[in-house]
Amino acid sequence: MASDQVVRDCYRTWSVWSVRDGMLSVYEMVCCQCTRWYVVSVRDGMLSVYEMVCGQCTRWYVVSVRDGMLSVYEMVCCRYMRWYVVSVRDVYEKRYPHGHKTVHYKKARLELFAPYLQHDGLVTCITSFMDYETLDPGCVYEYYNHREDLLYFSLQNLKNESTVEEFLPGREDALKEHSYYLSQSHVEHERSMKFYHKARMDGLESIQMEPCHMTQHFKDRQDFLYHRHVTFAPRDKNIAEGPKRTVLSLSEKYHRDPTKPADQDVAERVFAVAENRMTLKFHYDTGNVSANILEFTKPPVSELGDRLTFNPAMVSIYQLANALVVLSPTAEDGEIEV
């Protein structure tokens, strides 16, 4: 008799689930009568849950996430009874107790930070040590997120005080990597920079700076320029650092242009500013061991007069027997066409 009562009690209450028009409905049936009804719907990015008893909505929950904030509204009889606001940034994005976690390894230390916890966007810091007591640090590896300058990685060598910074694509200057020394922070000190050359109009790929030299590398340029080297005069110790520097020489190198003959395609231009001399070196043709060379000498300032005019004495030519180099002065401004 007791077992039959248990079976009847098991079938006295059951639930019915149905999905229609994007809404999930759950009916609680007791003795074939619907006593409680739950409706779940998602619209406009909000989750709504309705609780209905005897055909009337007695309780209503609304869950929404906007601007990184999780809001939960509880309504009873169409009135706000409770309002819960949870900050996703403070709770869900902390990831670790107090947003920070430190793990120690042999000769290394790992530090993990929650996003937005550090003002500089630091999320991971790895420090390698030279000893097992972790008293002599060697290198520091830092990873960043959500930075305005798009910096995402930095490597600091604490022994030679060198720093390497890497950036994500999207900067206005298309900077990809920047290497420098902490003790030499001036522009004229030794440093190197790499760029996303496809994002630049000039196709600049890298720059190497030294106190008296600057080297630039280009890629995929229409004029086939791929290398530029500038030599500066050393500064006087009594003169402070400034934007103006004295250029001693400048050289530019070009790839081969297949649309031009080799003896008329310039391979290198050298401007010896201090010596008032310009040299043009042409590409090597097939089967030749030498190439054409043109050298122009600028006369002194006392001999220039009103303007610079062409004078064959200013030109020195090394020409192959089968090559053709034509020098034609322009009548208007005295320029030279090659």
pLDDT in tens, 292-307: 899 988 877 666 666 7
Q: Which domain holds residue 74?
A: 8-94
| Percent above pLDDT 90 for the chain | 42
The region of weakest confidence among 160-164, 325-329, 332-336 is 332-336
Domain membership flag for residue 224: no
- The torsion of the CA quartet 20, 26, 30, 35, rounded to 10 degrees, works out to -90
Asked if pLDDT for residue 98 goes beyond 50, the answer is: yes
Domain membership flag for residue 61: yes
Domain membership flag for residue 325: no
Winning range, highest mean pLDDT, from 21-35, 161-175, 240-254, 275-289: 161-175
- Specify the pTM: 0.64
Give the mean model confidence (pLDDT) for residues 181-195: 86
Domain membership flag for residue 218: no
CA distance 57 to 73: 15
CB atoms within 10 A of CB 123: 19
Torsional class of 123: left (φ above 0), alpha (ψ -120 to 50), beta (otherwise): alpha
Domain membership flag for residue 12: yes
Domain membership flag for residue 73: yes
Where does the pLDDT of residue 86 fall: very low under 50, low under 70, confident under 90, or very high at 90 and above? low
Domain membership flag for residue 220: no
Short-list 103, 141, 102, 99, CA closest to 116: 99
How distant is the alpha carbon of residue 118 from its chain centre?
A: 20
CA distance 88 to 101: 19
CB atoms within 10 A of CB 55: 7
Domain membership flag for residue 202: no
Continuous segment of H or E residues that includes residue 2: helix 2-10
Q: What's the total number of domains in the chain?
A: 1
pLDDT at 27: 60
CA distance 215 to 210: 9
